[in-house]
Structures are given as structure tokens and as C-alpha cells.
Amino acid sequence: MANTTKNSGAPWVTVGVSGGVAAYKAAELVRALQQLGADVHVVMTRAAQEFVQPLTFSSLTGHRTITSMWGGWGEESSSPTGLDESGMIEHISEAGGADALVIAPATAHVIAKIAHGLADDFLSTMVLATTAPLIVAPAMNVNMWNNPATQANIALLRKRGVTIVEPGSGYLACGMTGAGRLASIDAIAQTVMRVLSPAAHAEKKDLAGETVLITAGGTREAIDPVRYIGNRSSGKMGYALAEAARQRGAEVILVSAATALDPPAGCTFFSVTSAEQMRRAVMAHLPQATVVIGAAAVADFRLATVGTEKLRRNGALHLELEPTEDIVRGVVEARGAGTLVVAFAAEMDDDIEHARKKMQAKGADAIVLNDVSRAGIGFDSERNAASFITAEQAIEIPEMTKREMAEKILDEVLALRAASIESAS
Ligand code: PMT
């Protein structure tokens, strides 16, 4: 498994993994980059190998994972001579072959080293030796991230043209809360692909001037203090929309029910639990919104009376449910002139006419129909397939990643915007 062989046509992306808890997420990044067509190589720092085995990456990539300048330790040591299998100096051949180098996660230490040109291991040496674009995705404790030394190093790297994928905020492995979480794998992978082919992934700022209010995730309706009625929504579709809209220049307000995802960088984020909390958060921010997208799976029913104590198991239990308010319908009734409203429909079939009736009942401008009975798409999947339905047409969006679908949906939102401007003039 030589490292210098270039697979036909596929861009060669080297992923540098440094030693933080988020090192395990680099395996997902490798997969995401491969799905986007890249031939991925991996270089690990010594500390990274304390968190993840090099074999994990070798198995995923089909290339030997580079673990050292000199070899001699790790389960599959690098060349003890420092030469690769074709006799070239390995860090030079890796540096020369790569079309892009992405360091994810990048620790404060690695960021400091590369900012100051130190080269004491394979990864930092490769950074100096390569002319390929460098992408850095930091992950660390919030105080380390906010430390003036780290911020100065980041500013230095930015000044030199390094692309920084901003960390998100949230609960950190160290137990603290704040900025420092590795950005989403999707955001890192998309950034790499954009850097690789700027023409194909040109920074479209076509949503500049729009404020997109997005709901995401599955709401939870309490039964008692410890139980709830929920659903299988992971929030991935809504978060993909938020990230894509933000990248295309929109202001984004994300109202999210509980998910396992990190809030996307650059969005105004509100965390809610129940359908009623989501409704209130949406209505409170509706006056700013020019586009509303309801990607959340909102409970249609809640308990008429929530137990104040944990219910005991004493035979059969009958719960009385009452309908929740329809958030999308409320939005349509209260929206300002020109605010576009896009709903989603999670159905067990692809009946376009049924979905269109749902859209009309809510008064939305469009509805995205996804058939959640299909394996591999819909709830909690990385992928989705849908139809973007308006009064006049139904545009099929074939199966793709949710991030790719987010771009397609936003393209259609822009087409709606163009049509609404034209009909108003
Ligand atoms: O989150 P993921 O795991 O990525 O999965 C994505 C998804 C399948 C959840 C998403 O693509 C999707 O289909 N979301 C809508 C799910 C849903 O609740 O569908 P619905 O047909 O029950 O509702 C129709 C629309 O009305 C939706 O826009 C919904 O947000 C909205 N609604 C529903 C009930 C309610 N009380 N208020 C609402 O606004």
C-alpha cells in the first residue's frame, strides 16, 4: 500500500490527525471525503495515536497510515529509512502528491507549531513542505481556544491564506461549555472540496440579504418528569440547511429540538424541547425572517395533562392526547409580505398530490416530500431523496447527501424568490 500512487482523476486529500478527543471523528471525515470523490491519505501525530489506532485509517483508506518520520513504532510503522516505497523521501512525496491537506482535529499545540514554522514530526514537516492548500479544523477546550496565543496563531494562519473551519459551540469533552468543538464533518468535508475546486464550489453568496429561519429535530412531549413522546428525527436535514444557507450568505436562525448535533457555526441558535416551545421561538423570530423552512418533525399531539410525578406501573395506562398547534400554519398567517414558507412532509409514500394538499392546507409556498418508508434515507440518515413541490410543479431531487439536498432546496427557494419578485412587479 504505497502512499505515492495517485488514483486516476480523484483529488488526493491528506487528512492530518492530531491528538485530541475528537480524533475519532477523523474516521468519519475520511468517509465523507471519499463519498465526495477524494482519494484520502492519513498522517497521524504521535498524540493522535493515543486516541485512535492507525489501522482504523489504513482500513478505511487502503493506504498505509503515516505515523512517524522515522517509523519504528505503532502497529504499522512508517518506513524506517524515511523513504517511501518508490525510494523518495516520504514527507516530501506526500507533500508533493497531495492536492489538499486538512488537519482535523487540530489541537492548540499543532496550530502553534504550524503558525511558527516548527517541523518536528511528519505532519508539521509536511505542512512546511507542501504547496497544496491547507485547511485547519481546530478542536480544543474553550479557554484554550479563547486564549490570546491561540487566537493570534489562528489570525497568523488566516493571514497566510490557510482556511480555518471555525469550531462550533456546545458541551466539550473537558466538561466545559463553549466554543472549541470540532466543526461538523460535513462542513469540513465541503470546505475541503470547495478549496480543491473553487470553480465547481464557487462561494455563492446568493442568499445574502435573506434571513432564513429553520426548524430542525424532533420535538418531545412530556408524559411525566422522566418520560416523553418523541420521534426519530436526528436534525441532520435541518442542520444541513442551516449550514448551507449560512455559507451562501444568509443570516440563519436555527430553532432546534433536542439533537446530538453541534450547533452550526455562525447561526443564531435556539434550543427547544416541545412543540409549544418551538412554536413560541419561531413566532418570536418570525418578524426578522424572509424565508422559513420547517424541517423539524413536530409532534402532532401532546398530553392533555402532564404527570407531575413519575407514573407507576399499575396495569394498563391510557393517555389523553390533544392536538398541538400547527407551527407552519401559524407562520403563514402571521408572516410579513414577501416571507417565503417551505414545509416538509414526512410520508410513507411519494404521493405528490397528497403532499400538495398538505402544503395548501398549511398555506405554504412549497413542500419538500420525503418518503420516510424508504431504507437509507429520511430519518436519522446521512442521505435523503425528495420532491420539491409547489402549486405549479414537482421537482424530483434524487438520492444524495442531506447537505447536497440542502443546496438543491435553497436553489428552489431562490427560484421562488425570483418568481415572487417578478409577479409583484
Ligand atoms: O431530522 P432528520 O433525521 O434529518 O430527518 C429529516 C426529516 C425526515 C425529519 C425531515 O426531512 C422531514 O420530513 N421533516 C418534517 C417531518 C414532519 O413532521 O412531517 P409532517 O408531515 O408531520 O409535517 C408537515 C410539516 O408541518 C413539517 O414542515 C412540520 O415541521 C410542520 N408541522 C407539523 C406539526 C406541527 N404541529 N407543526 C408544524 O409546523
pLDDT tens, N- to C-terminus, the chain (425 residues): 434 455 557 899 999 999 999 999 999 999 999 999 999 999 999 999 999 999 999 999 999 999 998 754 344 444 555 556 655 666 677 888 999 999 999 999 999 999 999 999 999 999 999 999 999 999 999 999 999 999 999 999 998 889 999 888 777 777 777 778 999 898 899 889 988 876 555 567 899 999 999 999 999 999 999 999 999 999 999 999 999 999 899 999 999 999 999 888 889 999 999 999 999 999 999 999 999 999 999 999 999 999 999 999 999 999 999 999 999 999 999 999 999 999 999 999 999 999 999 999 999 999 999 999 999 999 999 899 999 999 999 999 999 889 989 999 999 999 999 988 877 77
**Ligand 1 neighbour 328 (Cβ under 6 A):** yes
**Ligand 1 neighbour 412 (Cβ under 6 A):** no
Q: What is the pLDDT of residue 72?
A: 40
- Name all domains of the chain by residue range, CATH numbers in brackets: 12-196 (3.40.50.1950), 211-424 (3.40.50.10300)
Q: What is the pLDDT of residue 81?
A: 57
Residues ≥6 apart with Cβ < 8 Å to 109: 18
Please report the sign of the dihedral spanned by the C-alpha atoms of residue 415, residue 419, residue 420, residue 421.
positive
Write down the residue that cell numbers 402549486 correspond to: 391
Please report the sign of the dihedral spanned by the C-alpha atoms of residue 132, residue 137, residue 143, residue 146.
positive
Supply the residue whose CA is at minimum distance from atom 20 of ligand 1.
345
Ligand 1 centroid from CA 216, angstroms: 8
Catalytic positions = 174
What are the strands, taking DSSP E only, across 282-418? 291-294, 301-303, 321-323, 340-347, 366-371, 383-389, 394-401
Ligand 1 nearest atom to the CA of residue 235, by list position: 1
Ligand 1 centroid from CA 381, angstroms: 15
Half-sphere exposure of 300 (CA within 13 A, CB side): 2
Q: What is the pLDDT of residue 198?
A: 65
Question: Which cell goes with 336?
Answer: 410579513
Q: Which of 366, 397, 209, 365 is nearest to 290 (CA)?
A: 209
CB atoms within 10 A of CB 144: 18
Q: What is the pLDDT of residue 125?
A: 96
Q: What is the pLDDT of residue 84?
A: 61
DSSP 51-89: HS-HHHHHHHHSSPPB--SS--SSTTPPPTTSB-TTSSB
In angstroms, what CA-CA distances link 18 with 33, 91, 190, 283, 380?
18, 16, 20, 43, 29
Q: What is the pLDDT of residue 262?
A: 85
The helix (run of H) or strand (run of E) holding residue 40 is: strand 39-44
